């Protein structure tokens, strides 16, 4: 085999791998675009998502408030000398 022939095989191999890499990159970009779906950047869709997130935050804040009230109530019950303390005089 001559050096020119080996260089030709090397060039074909590199060219093939570059083409394959480009093809895979294009397919991955197309897949990402398909996963994004139509209208993902639509302002109406974004407003709906923001409203849903606001509702979720409000629900979490309500739950947090109820849990804080329960902890406060439990701490008062467990204080020494409280009316429900079994060892209180």
Q: Which residue has the tokens 């030709």?
A: 8
For 59, the token pair is 């629900």
Return the HEC string of 8-69: HHHHHHHHHHHHHHHHHHHHHHHHHHHHHCCCCCCHHHHHHHHHHHHHHHHHHHHHHHHHHH
Q: Are the C-beta atoms of 77 and 84 separated by less than 8 Å?
A: yes
Sorted by sequence, the CB contacts under 8 Å of residue 18 that are 6+ apart come out as none
Reported as a single tens digit per residue, the pLDDT across 13-37 is 777 777 777 777 777 877 777 666 6
**Predicted local distance difference test score (pLDDT) of residue 25:** 75
pTM over 0.75: no
């Amino acid at each position: 085999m001559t050096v020119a022939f080996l260089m030709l095989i090397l060039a074909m191999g590199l060219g093939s791998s570059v083409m394959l890499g480009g093809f895979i990159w294009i397919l991955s970009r197309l897949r990402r675009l398909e996963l994004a779906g139509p209208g993902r950047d639509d302002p109406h869709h974004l407003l709906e998502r923001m409203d849903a997130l606001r509702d979720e935050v409000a629900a979490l804040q309500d739950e947090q408030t109820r849990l804080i009230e329960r902890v406060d109530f439990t701490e008062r019950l467990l204080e020494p000398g409280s009316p429900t303390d079994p060892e209180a005089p």
